[in-house]
Chain A
Amino acid sequence: GNSVTQMEGPVTLSEEAFLTINCTYTATGYPSLFWYVQYPGEGLQLLLKATKADDKGSNKGFEATYRKETTSFHLEKGSVQVSDSAVYFCALSIKAAGNKLTFGGGTRVLVKP
């Protein structure tokens, strides 16, 4: 079956620090990969996505590259802000399966001023 593994949190950082959240996946088929973010008390927002190998998704200073050889999709941001404090979810979907999302366990990130 399909699964997503991401590093457990919480990850606590100071403002302007570099953020990396590791994500690896197993999939039967060729998945699309996503990062979703959940701010406190809110729903899920799509942060970025990549649909094929070597694609780089980027948004709001966050980046992730689809690495088929290592089955990974690590999220990075060069300089975090307090407003980036949230829970981040890595996910995959497969078109042939209707694109239902399979999520990782989520990583809570806390950025301190």
Chain B
Amino acid sequence: DSGVTQTPKHLITATGQRVTLRCSPRSGDLSVYWYQQSLDQGLQFLIQYYNGEERAKGNILERFSAQQFPDLHSELNLSSLELGDSALYFCASSVEYGTDTQYFGPGTRLTVL
């Protein structure tokens, strides 16, 4: 158990809908990362937050957004969902902004029908 929790574990929804994925980092970790794992794109970085502020953006679609709250949990919002958004979404956390070791949560599997 990495100490990173993600909810829900599975999510099934329809095209055009909006969903929110939640992540709670390890106790004391200030930095949160979101990654997407799909069959065609592999594992790719989406976005990073540090202590409530966005720090880096990767290949994140405009339909997706995220935030980190004062209690350090983070949410990833996916809207106008398409079939191709079906994937595993992982959250990871690390102690500081420049710390290289990230601890991953179990992931949320999103299925868009």
A18 to B45, CA, bound (A): 32
How many chain B residues sit at the interface, stated as a range, is 20 to 34
Query: Which residue in B2, B43, B55, B56 is a CB contact (below 8 Å) of A89?
Result: B43
B2→A101 contact, CB < 8 A: no
Contact with A along B30-49 (1 / 0, CB 8 A): 01010100000011110010
Count residues of A near B (Cβ-Cβ below 8 Å): 23
Query: Which residue in B31, B42, B90, B100 is a CB contact (below 8 Å) of A105?
Result: B42
Chain B at the A interface: SS class: strand
The residues in A between 80 and 113 inclusive whose CB is less than 8 angstroms from any CB of B are 89, 93, 95, 97-106
B97→A98 contact, CB < 8 A: yes
Residue numbers in A under 8 Å from B104 (CB-CB)? 36, 43-46
A111 to B23, CA, bound (A): 33
B2→A98 contact, CB < 8 A: no
Residue numbers in A under 8 Å from B98 (CB-CB)? 95, 98-99
Give B contacts to A, CB under 8 Å: 2, 31, 33, 35, 42-45, 48, 50, 55-56, 58, 90, 92, 94, 97-107
Give A contacts to B, CB under 8 Å: 32, 34, 36, 42-46, 49, 51, 89, 93, 95, 97-106
